[in-house]
Each structure stands twice: as C-alpha cells, then as structure tokens.
C-alpha cells in the first residue's frame, strides 16, 4: 500500500515517573522484559510494513531508542529515527517531520509507540481506502484495569473496572465518527450540534470505546491542518475533533471552521445544541455521507460533498492496550504473561510460564499462581537471575540478573533488571526499576521505586513513589 508509517515514540512521559528517566525513555520500558516499542515494531513487521519513521522527543532519548533499534532490528526493518523537541505533543511531532511525509496517505501508528495489540494495521488502512476518508481511527474496547491509580495489578481479591476514555458518536452503520469528546471534555456536560442530528437522523453514543492512537490520514489534509492550526498540540484532542466537527460542511474548508475555532460558535446559542441525555433516536439507518442533507424544512435531495471521518472498530476478541500510566504498565505486564501471552514472543513452558534456563531457584521456592506445582503459570524469571530458599513469586515479572534473598514474597509486581532484594522482603502490587537495592525485611505495597534507589532495612511503604532526587 502507498502508506508511510510514522511511529510516535514519545520521550520521558511525566505520567510514568519514576519508571522513566533520561536513561530509560518511555519507548524502552520493559513489558515482559522486552521494550514496549518492540511490540509495535513487530506488529508492523508482521504486516509487511517495514519502512518506518520513528519519532522520539529529545536528542538523548532518540539516540538511545535509535541505538536499540539498530541492534535489535538490523536487516529486518528500515527505520529512520527523527528527534523532535520535548513536549511538542503528537501533532507537534508530526508538524516537525512534515518534510519527510510524501505519500498520499499516512498510516500514523502508533501514537507514542506505546500500543500493545494484535489488531492488524492493514485492516485500518483498508477501511481508510475503501471509504476514501480523510482520517480513519482505530477504536477498541476500553481495557479492564485494576481498582486504583497505583501500581497494583488487580489481583483476584480486587475488583476490576473498565476505563472511560472518550464519548464517541457513530452513525448507524458504525463506520463514521460523527462526534467525539476527549480528555477533560469527558467530565463535562457534553453538547451535540443539532445540525449533526438533522443530517444523520440517528447517532449511537458510545462511552466504552478507546481511541487506540492508530490512525490513517490523508496526507494533504493532515498537513494543511498542521500548517494552519499552529496551536494544535494533540492528534486525539485537537486534530481528530476538528476533522469530525468540520465534516458536515461543504467540502473540507479549514477557513470555514475558523469561526468555531475562534469561539464565535457561542453566538449560535444553546438552542442549536442538545444534551446527550436528550438524544432521541429516529428510524434512519442510512449514512449521511451517501445521501442528501436534512435541512430545517425537510429533506434536501442534493449530493453532499463532505469529507469522511471513519472508524475501524476492533473485535472484542483482540487485545488492545496503551502503556500510558503506571497502572497500565502493571496491567499490560500481567496480561502479556497471562491471557495475552501470544503477544510476548516467548515460548511458554507446560505450566504456562517463562523461566530462563540460566535462572537459579533455591530450595522450597515456588514461582507460581498455586502451590500445587513447583513452577506455576503467569510468572517470568529472566536470564541469570537467582532466588534464595523459601521464596514465593505469583503473577509477576522478574528481570535479568536479579539477586533475590531467602524468604522473599513477590505478588502482582514487576521487577526490572539488576535488582537486589534482601532476605525477608515482601513486595505486592509494586514496580521496582533497574539497579534498585532493597535491604533486608523491606515491605512494599502498591509502590514504585525509581532506578538505582536504595531502600533501607526494615522500611515499610504503602502507595509511595520512591526515587532519587
């Protein structure tokens, strides 16, 4: 296909401190002991999309990400790594590399490079081409998460709940996006233009779908918006809503939407808007893109010249999640060694776990979800790691070359590489970054410990973020 693929790999995300640092940018955070960016790159490779631009915020982060890609994907992918300034946002990142974009259509996948999924991007591209759309967004079921904002992985004794990400209005065929409220708008009273309802007759409102940050854009339209709307910072919160709002206008005229963007739309008064709770569904099942307009005096039978904002809704059987919070980091690590193990790329044992052959287990140590078998499911123990006697590990990922003492309990946690854990420690629902040292008898529950931090003997913490100043 005539698509360029742009992977927006972010930099050092504030939402992921202390997990990220100058040494470990977001794209290199480990999911089942592999950088999260590897899941995106291998998904693209499997779909024969091998010519990529990877955009990274910050020169240092770009060097680290580029170095890793060069060593991991030599002779497999052709990747150009482009550094952009920090905090420019997803729209700003694309604006900064605009001179690299030459194809007719651009498959922008995957924003921030943090998507872990098994949905083929080619399906999104095909839907985009089929409808000759200006943008096609992939939507998926909102992932089920743990109960809190901490790093707890939501064990069996804790309730799980789906996240609320967007309010999305779809046409009756569920192929076109008619309305979207994202970000802070989701928490407000959301109002919909009556002109939308007159045009389509019926709109299905969904609050259970997540914008997966995988888009196909028509290049010329995207670049016009980025050039003319210099204040646009985010694809999801600025560019996509703008395209959706303007699609009912004749042709795609950026100038025609200027009044709305300047705030003059308020002059239309609330009489021209309705609350979502007031929406009444009519019997229409036709796509408003394919038929005449519904004017104030009834149906107007002339061909409508609109641009199309399309959606591709992934099957509920597919896995789709974004690593955009500490909670999501824990959830995705849990899933990739559990229900979504097919994404890990590893060969699992007969007990559905991954224990590296070089790992050493002490006597009476169980790495399990149950004590009935010596090595159980939903755990991972990395290369060269050693565990002392009488340890218990459940539903957790342990990295490479870790040194674990005796009588240590690890539950629902992620422990990165080169971590030292003293005797008698208890770790639950926590994330321990690389080169951390936990001295004897440390107790951590729902905590994050930044790289290189030392936790003194006998300390107890709950819901804390510990990191070097």
Check if the beta carbon of residue 205 is closer than 8 Å to that of residue 168: yes
pLDDT at 304 over 60: no
Q: At what angle do helices 36-46 and 59-72 cross, to 10 degrees?
A: 50
Estimate the share of the chain in helix, then strand, then coil, as percent rounded to the nearest 5. 25, 30, 45
pLDDT in tens, 333-345: 999 998 899 998 8
| Residue 187: both structure tokens together | 């928490």
Average pLDDT, the chain: 81
Longest dimension (CA), the chain: 82
Q: Calculate the alpha carbon distances from 335 to 155, 164, 321 in Å.
A: 12, 19, 10
Look at residue 350 in the predicted model and tell me its pLDDT: 73
Kindly indicate the confidence band of residue 62, based on its pLDDT and cuts at 50, 70 and 90: very high
| Residue 97: both structure tokens together | 């590399």
Check if the beta carbon of residue 276 is closer than 8 Å to that of residue 212: no
**C-alpha torsion sign, points 206, 211, 216, 217:** positive
Calculate the dihedral angle through the C-alpha atoms of 418, 422, 426, 431, rounding to the nearest 10 degrees.
-20
In this structure, of 76-85, 100-109, 266-275, 360-369, the range with the lowest mean pLDDT score is 266-275
Q: Which residues pair with 84 in a beta bridge?
A: 57
pLDDT in tens, 70-83: 999 988 999 999 99
For residues 153 and 354, the model is more confident at 354
**pLDDT, average across residues 384-395:** 92
- Which residues, other chains included, contact 137 with Cβ-Cβ below 8 Å and sequence gap of 6+? 177, 211, 212, 214, 215, 240, 309, 310, 311, 312
Look at residue 372 in the predicted model and tell me its pLDDT: 37
Rounded to whole angstroms, the Cα distance separating 60 from 67 reads 11
Q: How many degrees, rounded to 5, is the angle at CA 234 between CA 233 and CA 240?
A: 125
Q: How many degrees, rounded to 5, is the angle at CA 363 between CA 361 and CA 365?
A: 65
pTM attached to this predicted model: 0.84
pLDDT in tens, 3-53: 789 999 988 888 899 999 989 999 999 999 999 999 999 999 998 888 899
Look at residue 401 in the predicted model and tell me its pLDDT: 97
Task: Report the SS3 class of residue 344.
Answer: coil
pLDDT at 254 over 50: no
pLDDT at 370 over 90: no
- Which residues, other chains included, contact 415 with Cβ-Cβ below 8 Å and sequence gap of 6+? 396, 397, 398, 399, 402, 421, 427, 432
For residues 353 and 315, the model is more confident at 315
pLDDT in tens, 140-184: 988 776 543 333 333 334 445 555 567 899 988 899 998 888 766
Look at residue 362 in the predicted model and tell me its pLDDT: 86
């Amino acid at each position: 296909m005539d698509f360029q693929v742009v992977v927006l790999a972010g930099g050092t995300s504030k939402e992921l401190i202390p997990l990220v640092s100058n040494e470990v940018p977001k794209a290199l955070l480990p999911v089942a002991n592999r950088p999260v960016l590897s899941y995106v790159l291998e998904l693209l490779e499997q779909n024969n999309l091998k010519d990529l631009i990877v955009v990274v915020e910050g020169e240092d982060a770009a060097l680290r990400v580029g170095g890793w890609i060069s060593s991991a994907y030599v002779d497999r992918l052709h990747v150009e790594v482009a550094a952009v300034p920090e905090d420019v946002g997803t729209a700003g990142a694309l604006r900064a590399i605009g001179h690299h974009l030459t194809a007719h259509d651009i498959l922008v996948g995957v924003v921030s490079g943090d998507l872990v999924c098994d949905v083929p991007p080619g399906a999104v591209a095909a839907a985009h081409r089929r409808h000759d759309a200006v943008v096609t967004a992939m939507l998926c079921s909102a992932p089920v998460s743990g109960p809190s904002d901490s790093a707890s992985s939501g064990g069996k004794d804790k309730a799980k709940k789906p996240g609320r990400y967007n309010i999305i209005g779809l046409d009756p065929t569920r192929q076109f996006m008619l309305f979207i409220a994202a970000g802070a708008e989701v928490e407000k009273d959301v109002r919909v233009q009556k002109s939308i309802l007159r045009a389509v007759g019926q709109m299905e409102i969904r609050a259970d779908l997540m914008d997966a940050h995988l888009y196909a854009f028509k290049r010329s339209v995207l670049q016009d918006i980025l050039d003319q709307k210099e204040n646009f910072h985010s694809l999801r919160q600025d560019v996509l809503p703008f395209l959706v709002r303007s699609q009912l206008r004749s042709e795609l005229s950026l100038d025609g939407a200027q009044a709305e963007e300047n705030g003059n739309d308020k002059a239309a008064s609330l009489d021209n808007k309705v609350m979502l709770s007031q929406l009444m569904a009519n019997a229409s099942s036709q796509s408003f893109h394919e038929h005449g307009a519904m004017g104030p005096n009834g149906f107007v039978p002339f061909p409508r010249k609109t641009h199309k904002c399309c959606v591709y809704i992934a099957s509920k059987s597919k896995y789709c999640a974004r690593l955009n919070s500490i909670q999501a980091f824990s959830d995705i690590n849990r899933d990739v060694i559990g229900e979504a193990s097919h994404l890990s790329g590893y060969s699992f044992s007969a007990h559905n776990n991954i224990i590296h052959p070089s790992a050493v287990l002490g006597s009476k140590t169980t790495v399990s979800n149950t004590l009935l078998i010596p090595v159980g499911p939903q755990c991972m123990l990395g290369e060269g790691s050693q565990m002392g006697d009488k340890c218990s590990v459940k539903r957790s990922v342990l990295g490479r070359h870790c040194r674990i003492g005796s009588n240590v309990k690890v539950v629902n946690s992620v422990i990165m590489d080169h971590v030292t854990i003293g005797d008698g420690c208890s770790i639950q629902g926590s994330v321990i970054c690389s080169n951390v040292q936990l001295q004897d008898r440390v107790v951590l529950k729902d905590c994050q410990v930044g790289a290189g931090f030392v936790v003194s003997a006998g300390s107890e913490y709950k819901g804390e973020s510990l990191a070097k100043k």
